[in-house]
Amino acid sequence: MAPPHSPRRAQIAFSDSAAKQLENLTSEAEIHALDRALVVISVDPDIGEELPGDSAGPQLRQYTDEIERVRLLYWVTALRTVVVVAYIEA
């Protein structure tokens, strides 16, 4: 009998502005904190709170980890297989 599979993770992608913010992270603590937050949203993309907006574009969500002091703005693709990070605050 095959072992049970863990939930499928969504892939993480970065917008151009988030990729630039990522390049500016220099401390190992910031990178570690960001990595933990990315794992959380990849496992459960609905964990963040929805931000108010219109229905014309993707629904932005915000995930904040108060302990690690990380805030991410992101949206999830229609099939929930990709999380696109739009903004990083670490």
User: Is 18 or 6 the better-scoring residue by pLDDT?
Assistant: 18
Per-residue pLDDT of 46-83, as tens digits, reads 999 999 987 777 889 999 999 989 999 999 998 889 99
Q: What is the CATH number of the domain that holds 43?
A: 3.30.2310.20
Q: Which of 9, 11, 7 is nearest to 84 (CA)?
A: 11
Portion of the chain with pLDDT greater than 70, in percent: 92
For residue 44, being part of any structural domain is answered with: yes
For residue 4, being part of any structural domain is answered with: no
pLDDT at 26 over 80: yes
CA–CA distance, 68 with 79 (Å, rounded to integer): 29
For residue 6, being part of any structural domain is answered with: no
If one counts the domains in the chain, the total is 1
- Torsion 31-22-41-6 (CA) sign: negative
Break the chain down into helix, strand, coil percent, rounded to 5.
30, 30, 40
pLDDT at 41 over 70: yes
Give the domain range for residue 16.
Answer: 11-89
